[in-house]
């Protein structure tokens, strides 16, 4: 049986000539011009990144390696006794583009276990931080601290850099990091919120199962973890966390420097922190009503109050999507099929927001996409299973997002993508181009 790394090597060898041919023979072909609005407005829609790991269609939503979310869940080997797949098998699929067999999946499960021990110095660093630091700050710091163990950086330092084979060091760093992220996240959670009591991993469990165990949350939280990590993994390359990771890696920075930077971008309220903001907004609103589920009229007024005070409605809108995010729908389906959760007042309120907010946003007339994104739904599920510390939610996102970011930068190295260096212009140059005197 071929290992993941062997399969990856074969895929890389097959793929390289395509990239070389495109650059050498078709490098002058235009993918479109850049407008002034795009230059000022966050490069929206500018086609200047390449990835084969996922693609985001504005109307259909995400496809991982060509598969929709339901197709992905259906195709991958399932954890025994669970409806949800192994995260490890999903990693294999994102890396190689192939759906792994059960045997190949279990090989990744074993490989991650061997690499999952969190170094003692990382624990020391976390413990030295003020306990009220945001958990994303702790998480990103832990990832950065591990840079001392980078195989890529060590080999580079020792003069062993080779453009054709350096992806292997990135792969090793990426896998080492991936295997440690969930245990680090669980450590931060228990240190900060559970009286600094910790639970050891069980060698018989997969990554999702162990995460639930180390968090101290009973089944079906293991399934929630598997679903959550897969859904949050990748959203093509232009979003802030993926793009930052790619940008930093393009300077030949290693996986630790790159993903720590990606996490810092994920921590912004317009990106990953939105899941925390959604729950904060929703709960504050319910608290004002004495814990009651509001009427639609009350909800509509609260949404308008938020907009009129100049704030965004968290969990709604998207830079690319123009319909309900299928990652939202997938989590909604989980709620609807889970006894207890489907009648949970907070879920009812989130469902009511789904009915009311798009109309309000349309009438408001600013947001190009009035539909919910992934963050509008995820906090409710966490809250229901007892993970009520909502400043931790972006850390959960960060564990999942690593799967996509790290697979991408492994391929970046393999295909020799160049250091990123777009050109800037001055405002006067824009005025000149626009014919403004």
Contact 179, 115 (CB under 8 A): yes
Min dist. Cβ of residue 262 to ligand HAX (A):
12
- Catalytic annotation on 235? no
How many Å apart are CA 49 and CA 57, to the nearest integer? 15
Min dist. Cβ of residue 269 to ligand HAX (A):
7
Closest-by-Cβ residue to ligand HAX is 317
The tokens for 227 are: 């679903």
Is residue 261 classed as helix, strand or coil in its secondary structure?
helix
How many Å apart are CA 135 and CA 338, to the nearest integer? 29
- Catalytic annotation on 246? no
Min dist. Cβ of residue 286 to ligand HAX (A):
19
Min dist. Cβ of residue 312 to ligand HAX (A):
4
> Of 232, 235, 246, 271, which one is the catalytic site residue?
271
Burial class (CB in 10 A: 0-12, 13-18, 19+), 156: middle
Residue holding tokens 């413990």?
A: 127
Is the CB of 383 or the CB of 417 nearer to ligand HAX? 383
Nearest 10 degrees: CA dihedral of 174, 175, 178, 181? -100
Is the CB of 212 or the CB of 274 nearer to ligand HAX? 274
> Of 111, 318, 325, 412, which one is the catalytic site residue?
318
Residues that bind ligand HAX (CB under 6 A): 44, 239, 270-272, 274, 307, 312-319, 366-369, 373-375
Number of Cβ within a 10 Å radius of residue 283: 17
> Of 111, 234, 375, 412, which one is the catalytic site residue?
375
Contact 417, 250 (CB under 8 A): yes
Closest CA to 395 of 379, 415, 411: 379
Min dist. Cβ of residue 34 to ligand HAX (A):
16
Is the CB of 155 or the CB of 264 nearer to ligand HAX? 264
Is the CB of 42 or the CB of 386 nearer to ligand HAX? 42
Residue holding tokens 């609260």?
A: 302
Is the CB of 269 or the CB of 386 nearer to ligand HAX? 269
Is the CB of 77 or the CB of 317 nearer to ligand HAX? 317
DSSP state, residue 118: P
352: Cβ contacts below 8 Å, ≥ 6 apart: 293, 294, 296, 299
- Catalytic annotation on 318? yes
Contact 331, 342 (CB under 8 A): no
Crossing angle (nearest 10°) for helices 102-115 and 4-26: 100
Is the CB of 18 or the CB of 368 nearer to ligand HAX? 368
Min dist. Cβ of residue 353 to ligand HAX (A):
11
How many Å apart are CA 359 and CA 405, to the nearest integer? 34
Min dist. Cβ of residue 376 to ligand HAX (A):
7
How close are the terminal C-alpha atoms of the chain, in Å?
A: 68
Q: What stretches of 310-392 show up as alpha helix (H) in DSSP? A: 326-337, 345-364, 375-384
Min dist. Cβ of residue 427 to ligand HAX (A):
18
Residue holding tokens 């697979």?
A: 407
Closest CA to 413 of 263, 242, 252, 261: 252
Catalytic residues: 271, 318, 375
């Amino acid at each position: 049986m071929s290992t993941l790394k062997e399969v990856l090597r074969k895929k890389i060898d097959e793929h390289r000539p395509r990239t070389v041919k495109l650059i050498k023979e078709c490098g002058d072909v235009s993918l479109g011009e850049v407008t002034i609005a795009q230059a000022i407005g966050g490069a929206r829609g500018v086609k200047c990144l390449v990835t084969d790991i996922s693609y985001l269609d504005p109307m259909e939503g995400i496809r991982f390696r060509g598969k929709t979310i339901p197709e992905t869940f259906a195709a991958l080997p399932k954890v025994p006794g669970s409806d949800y797949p192994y995260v490890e098998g999903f990693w294999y699929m994102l890396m190689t583009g192939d759906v792994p067999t059960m045997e190949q999946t279990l090989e990744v499960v074993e490989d991650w276990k061997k690499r999952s021990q969190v170094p003692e110095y990382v624990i020391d660093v976390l413990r030295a931080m003020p306990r009220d630091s945001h958990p994303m700050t702790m998480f990103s710091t832990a990832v950065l601290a591990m840079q001392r163990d980078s195989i890529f950086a060590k080999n580079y330092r020792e003069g062993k850099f080779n453009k054709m084979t350096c992806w292997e060091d990135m792969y090793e760093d990426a896998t080492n990091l991936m295997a440690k992220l969930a245990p680090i996240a669980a450590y931060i959670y228990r240190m900060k919120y559970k009286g600094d009591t910790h639970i050891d991993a069980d060698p018989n469990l997969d990554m999702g199962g162990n995460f639930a165990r180390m968090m101290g949350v009973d089944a079906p939280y293991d399934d929630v973890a598997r679903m959550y990590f897969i859904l949050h993994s990748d959203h093509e390359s232009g979003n802030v966390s993926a793009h930052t990771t790619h940008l930093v890696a393009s300077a030949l920075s290693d996986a630790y420097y790159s993903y720590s930077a990606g996490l810092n971008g994920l921590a912004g309220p317009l990106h990953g922190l939105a899941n925390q903001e959604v729950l904060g907004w929703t709960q504050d609103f319910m608290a004002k009503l004495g814990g009651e589920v509001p009427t639609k009229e009350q909800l509509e007024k609260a949404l308008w109050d938020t907009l009129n005070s100049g704030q965004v409605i968290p969990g709604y809108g998207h830079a690319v999507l123009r319909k309900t995010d299928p990652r939202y729908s997938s989590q909604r389906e989980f709620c609807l099929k889970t006894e207890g959760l489907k009648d949970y007042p907070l879920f009812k309120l989130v469902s009511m927001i789904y009915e009311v907010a798009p109309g309000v946003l349309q009438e408001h007339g600013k947001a190009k996409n009035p539909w919910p994104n992934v963050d509008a739904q995820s906090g409710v599920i966490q809250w229901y299973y007892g993970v009520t510390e909502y400043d931790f939610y972006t850390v959960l996102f960060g564990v999942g997002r690593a799967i996509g970011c790290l697979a991408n930068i492994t391929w970046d190295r393999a295909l020799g993508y160049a250091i990123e260096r777009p050109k800037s212009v001055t405002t006067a140059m824009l005025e000149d181009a626009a014919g403004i005197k």
